[in-house]
Every structure is written in structure tokens, then in C-alpha cells.
């Protein structure tokens, strides 16, 4: 983390509603959010999973929408960041096969941060019909240095494996960005969506802030939770987007400035979230 006890980060999650087949329109909506975030002094902007393409894709649609991290579109967005803004967004990533035809596609997240090359992460844990379209990633989720500190990234279903946010925090993440598309599930009245509960638990367990950006609308019969939230390092929700739009039909947004105190993992005079761990006793295969 850069800075001392008073360090903080201004975050925004923009709950877009990507449209399958409308790559140009999706790109325009993303560019508007980047420009607005720069104008508003936001330091971390998180956008939904597969924001460039839409979610419920056929294999052919995914291949048609797939882009590589060095695509000119992403380079253009990187040039919009200014000095402080980092952007994390979901995209359909083309594999590395030579030639123009795309054979392998990944459900990926792209991290754009000032002054560095784009970083792509390929989702490790594929959900349901994603397994029919995408290839799972084979590399650990990244932790990248940003102007506000260490940023870890995972995607949607990844967050349901407690090892993921924990490992990112242990590797230096102060904040975890989670582009997501959460299908709407039944839950008791007054309760948070289960995925939000998992984000809160992960944040509290590791003293890390978590920004989850869900999507809005309905797509090919799938209703979405619209559960976008920003969770502080204490595990409490600092901001939610809710449902519906803002700005005359634009996306709902969650905004929060989250403190990142240096001592946040010392939870009492004698207890530390990391130093008190005893992984050799949890599973003989674990050594860290």
C-alpha cells in the first residue's frame, strides 16, 4: 500500500447492461463511464463481467466478440485514464492462436492502470454454461501495483472460493476488484444476495476492500441480481448501486471512498489476521 494510516481510495462501480451483438454500443457506454470517472476524480472504476460483449453468448458470438489485450480499443481506453484512474472491466478474450480466426476464448478481466501495459486475467472458475463456451485460465489471479496500492482481481464465481480473495490479500492486495454477472436467486426477505455476503466475509477475513460490479437488465431469459456493492476493509457495505438507472436512464452506480489504514489487519492488541494463521494445521498440502 502506498501511503500511511490515512491512505484511502475513491472507488466507483458502474452497473452497465451490455448488449449481445452491439460491440460498438457497449464500447461507447464503457468510454462514457471512463471519461466520467476521470472528471469525477475516481481512482478505481470497476465495470461488469463481459462488459464488452454481453454474457449469454453462443460459441460463435463469443468468438466474434473476442479481442486480445493489445487491441486498439483497449489502448484508446488506456489513453483516457489520466494520472490516477485504474479501470477493471470484463471482456471476451481471444486466444493466442496465429491468424485471424479465433478458436479459443476466455472470460477475462482487463486491468488498465496509468503508465503500464494492460494486464489480463483469465477466469479460473467457470460457471455453468460458461464451460460450454470458454476455456478456463491457467495462471493465478494477478495483483498489480496502482497509484492507490496493490490491486487484486477475480471474476464472479471465483469469489465463491475463499482461497481466491485470501491469496490475493496475502500477495499484497489492498483492494480486490470483482467484475461479475450474478444471476438472480431467491433469498429470504431483507437478506443480502449470497454473493454479497461472501464478499463481506472475504473483506472482513483479510482486511481488504472489495468492489463487486454486477450488471443490470435481463438477457436471454436471465434476470440479474443487480447486486453491485463496495465493501470496506471491516466487511461492511459502504455503497450499493441498487436497481434501476441514473442520469436519465444511465447505469446505476456505487461510489465510496474507502480508508486503507495500515493497521487494519491488527484486530486487537494481540491478534493479526495474517500472523495468527496456522495453515500447516488446516491441510497438510498447505505450506503458506
pLDDT tens digits for range 207-233 = 999 999 999 989 999 999 999 999 999
- pLDDT of 26-35, one tens digit each? 999 999 999 9
What pLDDT, on the 0 to 100 scale, is given for residue 184?
A: 94
pLDDT band at 4 (very low <50, low <70, confident <90, very high): very low
pTM above 0.85, yes or no: yes
> How confident is the model over 126-142, as a mean pLDDT?
97
Mean of all residue pLDDT scores within the chain: 93
Band of pLDDT at residue 282, cut at 50, 70 and 90: confident
Q: Is the pLDDT of residue 171 over 70?
A: yes
Q: In the predicted model, is pLDDT for residue 78 greater than 60?
A: yes
Percent of the chain with pLDDT over 90: 88
User: Is the model more confident about 287 or about 140?
Assistant: 140
In SS3 terms, the chain reads as: CCCCCCCEEEEEEEECCCCCCCHHHHHHHHHHHHHHHHHCCCCEEECCCCCCCCCCCCHHHHHHHCECCCCHHHHHHHCCCCCCCEEEEEEEEECCCCCCCCCCEEEEEEEECCCCCCEEEECCCCCCCHHHHCCCCCCCCCEEEECCEEEEECCHHHHHCCHHHHHHHHCCCCEEEEECCCECCCCCCCCCCHHHHHHHHHHHHHCCEEEEECCCCEECCEEECCCCEEECCCCCEEEECCCCCECCCECEEEEEEEECCCCCCEEECCEECCCCCCHHHCCCCCCC
More confident residue, 243 or 258: 258
- What pLDDT score does 101 carry? 73
Amino acid at each position: 500500500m502506498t501511503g500511511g494510516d490515512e491512505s484511502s481510495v475513491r472507488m466507483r462501480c458502474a452497473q452497465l447492461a451490455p448488449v449481445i451483438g452491439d460491440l460498438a454500443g457497449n464500447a461507447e457506454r464503457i468510454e462514457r463511464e471512463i471519461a466520467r470517472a476521470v472528471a469525477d476524480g475516481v481512482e478505481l472504476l470497476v465495470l461488469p463481467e463481459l462488459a464488452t460483449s454481453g454474457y449469454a453468448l453462443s460459441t460463435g458470438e463469443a468468438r466474434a466478440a473476442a479481442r486480445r489485450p493489445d487491441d486498439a480499443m483497449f489502448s484508446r481506453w488506456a489513453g483516457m485514464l489520466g494520472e490516477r484512474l485504474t479501470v477493471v472491466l470484463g471482456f471476451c478474450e481471444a486466444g493466442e492462436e496465429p491468424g485471424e480466426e479465433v478458436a479459443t476464448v476466455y472470460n477475462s478481466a482487463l486491468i488498465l492502470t496509468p503508465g503500464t501495459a494492460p494486464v489480463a486475467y483469465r477466469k479460473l472458475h467457470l460457471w455453468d454454461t460458461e464451460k460450454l463456451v470458454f476455456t478456463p485460465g491457467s495462471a493465478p489471479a494477478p495483483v498489480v501495483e496502482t497509484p492507490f496500492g496493490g490491486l487484486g482481481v477475480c471474476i464472479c464465481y471465483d469469489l465463491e472460493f475463499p482461497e481466491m480473495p485470501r491469496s490475493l490479500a496475502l500477495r499484497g492486495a489492498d483492494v480486490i476488484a470483482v467484475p461479475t454477472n450474478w444471476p438472480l436467486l431467491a433469498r429470504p426477505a431483507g437478506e443480502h444476495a449470497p454473493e454479497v455476503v461472501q464478499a463481506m466475509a472475504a473483506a472482513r477475513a483479510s482486511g481488504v476492500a472489495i468492489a463487486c460490479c454486477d450488471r443490470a437488465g435481463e438477457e436471454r431469459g436471465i434476470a440479474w441480481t443487480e447486486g453491485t456493492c463496495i465493501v470496506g476493509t471491516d466487511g461492511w457495505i459502504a455503497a450499493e448501486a441498487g436497481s434501476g438507472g441514473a442520469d436519465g436512464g444511465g447505469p446505476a452506480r456505487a461510489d465510496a471512498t474507502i480508508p486503507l489504514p495500515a493497521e487494519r489487519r491488527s484486530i486487537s492488541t494481540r491478534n493479526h489476521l495474517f500472523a495468527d494463521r496456522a495453515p500447516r494445521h488446516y491441510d497438510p498440502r498447505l505450506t503458506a
